[in-house]
Structure formats: structure tokens, C-alpha cells
Amino acid sequence: MRIKWYGHAAFLIETEGVRVILDPYRSPDSGGYEPIAEPADVVVVSHENDRYHSHLGQIVPSFHVFRALELPEGGEDFRGIRIEAVRVFETPERKPGDEVAIVHFRAEGLHVAFLGDLGHRLSAEELEPIRGADVVLAPAGGTPTIDLAEIPALLDAIGPRVVVPMHYKTPRINLDIQPIERFLERLPDDPVERIAGAEFAIDRASLPTRRTIVLLEHAR
């Protein structure tokens, strides 16, 4: 499996024969991130926000679309990948209209959880489907997503071996969010692997024995 970070919350997850794009932004309205402009077999949208999370117009067609908040209980299959969602909220108050989704799937022996715009602590019921995920794609910029003070307990509860930060301040995003240093300060005991590039390969055999933060450069 290869994991590529385009920027903000947009990723490419590439397995043998399947390209999955998560939460594509709209360029240039999201800031300075350039258009994704790559093909996908399937695009998964955690919630509707055309500027930052659900813009389909800059991905090379044709592709299937899964809107996570509309997935049935138990998820949907796409070419051998089971894509599932956990309904959560963008705010601690869990207000109606603030619904977002955690997207998770299993492929090539790995369980990957994309936390999207999660904004609160998880209940036991919300946590259970992603407990023990091998790889977590985690918001790292604080409000309007989960407060950075909550990150250590959240990751301890999930128990991933690899954490890939996203949704944090870079010179190319026009949101008032925190830089990656604030996230790393909350996890001082976690080793950090800084990748010279936007992507890395991972399989079951290469999972670290200790939880590790994999820091990518944005591709766009």
C-alpha cells in the first residue's frame, strides 16, 4: 500500500489495482494547494464541504464516489476493499448539521482510519470500529477539528502503529489552524519519521513496533 498526502485532508491510498482519493479540496479556493489533477478509481468524501473536503471537479474521471455519511451500516465493497464510516461531529457540542464521518477500510492486511474533521472525544461505541487500526490519518491543526489536548488520549485509545498528520497550518492553506509543531509537542515520546516527499509505502511486515508519526511533505 502507498499513502500520498496531497495537502490539507486530501490523500491518495493506492493498493494493488485500486486508487482511493480521500477528501479532495478545491483549488485555489482552499489557499495555495494546487489541483489534485490525478485519476482515481473511487473518491470518498467524509462530509460535504466543497472548498476543503468534497470537490470532485479537479480529479481525472471516471471514478466512483462514496459519500461517507450516506454509507449503509456495514459499509460498501469496492474491488475487494470494504469502505466503512463512523458518524461523528465536527464540534464538541455535537450540534445537528455538524455531522462528519470517520472513514476506515481494510486492504492488503492493513486497517486504515481517516479521522476527517472529527471534533470531539469518541464514545466507546464510536471508538470500537476503529480500535486497533494500523494506520491513522489524524487532524493535527486543532480547532475547528479536535482540540490538540485530546490527541494523546485519542491515539492511545485507538492504538495505531502509524500516525500520519493532516489538516494543519502550512503556507498553502487559508485556514486559521495550528502548525504541525503544536501537534508534535503533544506527543513528545512518539518517534517522528520525516519523509523527503509526499508518499510512502507500507505493509504489514513494515509496521513499526512502537507508535510512530510519519510526517509527509504535501504533494500539491
Domain edges within the chain: 2-215
Q: Per-residue pLDDT tens for 198-209?
A: 999 999 999 999
More confident residue, 79 or 49: 79
More confident residue, 97 or 119: 119
Mean pLDDT on 64-87: 96
More confident residue, 52 or 189: 189
Q: Per-residue pLDDT tens for 145-157?
A: 999 999 999 999 9
pTM of the model: 0.95
**Model confidence at 87, in pLDDT bands (50, 70, 90)?**
very high
- Return the pLDDT at 54: 85
Is 94 a residue whose pLDDT tops 90?
A: yes
More confident residue, 48 or 208: 208
Is 159 a residue whose pLDDT tops 90?
A: yes
**Model confidence at 108, in pLDDT bands (50, 70, 90)?**
very high
Instruction: Give the neighbor-by-neighbor strand order of the sheet with 64-67.
Output: 64-67, 42-45, 18-22, 10-15, 2-7, 199-201
Q: What CATH superfamily classification does 2-215 receive?
A: Ribonuclease Z/Hydroxyacylglutathione hydrolase-like (3.60.15.10)
- Return the pLDDT at 161: 99
**Model confidence at 30, in pLDDT bands (50, 70, 90)?**
confident
Mean pLDDT on 118-127: 97
- Return the pLDDT at 190: 99
Cβ neighbours, 10 Å, residue 88:
24
Q: How far apart are CA 213 and CA 165, in angstroms?
A: 8
Mean pLDDT on 79-95: 94
